[in-house]
Amino acid sequence: DTAVSQTPKYLVTQMGNDKSIKCEQNLGHDTMYWYKQDSKKFLKIMFSYNNKELIINETVPNRFSPKSPDKAHLNLHINSLELGDSAVYFCASTFWTGNYGYTFGSGTRLTVV
């Protein structure tokens, strides 16, 4: 049973296209995150949601729009893709209260050509 699953695993697309990445967790967590890992391997937080409410919105271009239809799902839609968007995107989840660790998905490798 996959705890945090992301789809697709790989995504190759052309500049200017619009694409979505989906994330689902079956851990009963109420808080979910999107992280971006660039070619230099730095992991940076992008967004977080708690019970469908946007909590963290880091300095991310507004071409990136997260959506959380329910607390088990967090999707990321990217408009007008640019070469610099190429990265691995990780979804993570945890409980809002307490000091629990995050559970990460296996990532979506996005390549913009």
Partner 1 sequence: DAKTTQPPSMDCAEGRAANLPCNHSTISGNEYVYWYRQIHSQGPQYIIHGLKNNETNEMASLIITEDRKSSTLILPHATLRDTAVYYCIVRVPNQGGSEKLVFGKGTKLTVNP
Give contact residues for partner 1 (rule: CB under 8 A): 4, 31, 33, 35, 41-45, 48, 50, 55-56, 88, 90, 92, 96, 99, 101-107
Closer residue to partner 1 in complex, CB, 13/103: 103
Q: In terms of CB distance, is 15 or 100 closer to partner 1?
A: 100
Nearest alpha-carbon partner for 64 in 4, 18, 15, 16: 18
| Residue 74 exposure: Cα atoms within 13 Å on the Cβ side | 32
Nearer to partner 1, 15 or 42 (CB): 42
> What is the nearest approach in angstroms of partner 1 to the Cβ of residue 88?
7
Provide the terminal-to-terminal Cα distance of the chain, rounded to the nearest Å: 34
Rounded least distance, CB 87 to partner 1, Å: 11
90: left (phi over 0), alpha (psi -120 to 50) or beta: beta
